[in-house]
Structure 1
């Protein structure tokens, strides 16, 4: 499941007519990276919870006959092959509408009839990862061992925990452990740890029933964390401290950093990119802060 109904206000005016999930990191939109991660983990059906002006996401995961015909006529076999590889098979995508911005918990609930009584993976496209294997694949490996619910976590400086959902750590290893509690955006002196929830979840379908009866929480929204806390009373939650690096592409700095990191990771881009950056003189010029 991919919640993609957000307004993307932090990227206005770029997102006035284009969904933030379609912003490109190098040459692939954010939502494509999330779908690629899910496919690597073995996911076969992709559910998108959309909102107004998000039709371009549905178009992105559809065939474009005119474009493909043009590429074929021009002998662009590599580009044509890439489009074909990115395209989910027929019947493997579903789209449902979140008609009001009532929070992540509400977005998840909007997909209840599509998901049904099945466990599901939830991926927030704003969070982009560099990891091999992908973060969801690492979580699926843990799920195969322990079942229940699985959440990807990472460490941040304690002074930054007030911006995130934070988990309390129970028994286990450094990489995989029981979660004994969760709190949304705690003050540093009230946080149970510096392990934050990183935008990747594997959840059991009972979470839908809990969301359907809960009231609005922090920020006047229906919070997924509140439903997970209730589910924690009866079901196991496992935290997976994934191996890799994250980029919060919901922020401008995170998005720009991701573009640099992914460009440097591309054999076809890296050298020319470094030459272009060197040509700007930035690597040898003192920063404004140090001037």
Structure 2
């Protein structure tokens, strides 16, 4: 019987040091992209892909994430009393959009460790992992594209993007061959973490979207700590390759690295220009700049 992806895990326990001092008191996942925190874009993507259970792996100082998706009685009462019905509906939509569960990662020990913390909530079924830093703008949400592929292959899938030049050294890189019948799919045979450009097996970098089978948990339990004394998710996936097929998927859409200051600025411009309420005026403003 074919299985479906119902749960999405969001690792959100990192310190967000690239955005200090802002992230000294605000979780990086709550930094605003136009008028929504970046984690909300990921949650909406998971919902659009058919996931009805969201698991957020948090850490110390991340209570603002829970507050954002919770009911705010004081705010809603005030908005209702003032007759601000549109804003009231906006607030309620956030708190009513999905079932959320939280699990605490007491110590930041890497992406693999964060995923492992969700084991009891995921159970014995395939699940998605979304890194909130990667905001992907696509007509068909990236995770929905991957879920559609999973329904065909019933195996783990890693989102990939072609990275040209020396920038490839910042990513995990896939080694594999084209999958028959679909130019966007790769049959993965290996992964190399942050290779030198000349040693990269391909230009296909792993981006922050995964669909994984539950076997990954057993492998992460027994995988030794890797670079930086952390449990690396890529090391667990290498183990997965020994017994299961793993696929790379080159998604359709534009990926913004919202975990980087320049990436966040670019995303803000792009998302603002797409807005009917802000785009025209913002476009006129940009024309006045002497660049």
**TM-score interval, smaller chain:** over 0.9
Determine whether 1:7 maps to 2:23: no
* Structure 2 equivalent of residue 192 of structure 1: 201
RMSD: 1.3
* Structure 2 equivalent of residue 128 of structure 1: 135
Determine whether 1:70 maps to 2:86: no
Q: Give the secondary structure class of the aligned counterpart of 1:137.
A: helix
Determine whether 1:113 maps to 2:112: no
Determine whether 1:152 maps to 2:159: yes
Determine whether 1:99 maps to 2:106: yes
Q: Which whole-Å CA distance do the structure 1 matches of 2:162 and 2:83 have between them? A: 47
Q: Which whole-Å CA distance do the structure 2 matches of 1:73 and 1:210 have between them? A: 54
CA offset at residue 222 of structure 1? 0.7
* Structure 1 equivalent of residue 4 of structure 2: none
* Structure 1 equivalent of residue 95 of structure 2: 87
Give the stretch that moved more between structures: 57-66 or 79-88.
Answer: 79-88
Determine whether 1:46 maps to 2:54: yes
Q: Which whole-Å CA distance do the structure 2 matches of 1:77 and 1:11 have between them? A: 34
Question: TM-score, with normalisation over the residues of structure 2?
Answer: 0.93
Equivalent of 2:170 in 152, 155, 163: 163
Alignment of 1:254-265 (within 5 A): 254-265=263-274
Q: Which whole-Å CA distance do the structure 2 matches of 1:238 and 1:8 have between them? A: 30
Q: Give the secondary structure class of the aligned counterpart of 2:178.
A: strand
Q: Which whole-Å CA distance do the structure 2 matches of 1:24 and 1:99 have between them? A: 25
* Structure 2 equivalent of residue 209 of structure 1: 218
Q: Which whole-Å CA distance do the structure 2 matches of 1:273 and 1:154 have between them? A: 29
Question: TM-score, with normalisation over the residues of structure 1?
Answer: 0.93
Q: Which whole-Å CA distance do the structure 2 matches of 1:130 and 1:44 have between them? A: 21
CA offset at residue 220 of structure 1? 2.1
Gapped regions of structure 1 (runs ≥ 5): 286-291
Q: Which whole-Å CA distance do the structure 1 matches of 2:267 and 2:188 have between them? A: 29
Gapped regions of structure 2 (runs ≥ 5): 1-8
Alignment of 1:209-248 (within 5 A): 209-248=218-257
C-alpha change, 1:26 and 1:89, in structure 2 (3 Å) is closer
Determine whether 1:271 maps to 2:280: yes
CA offset at residue 88 of structure 1? 4.0
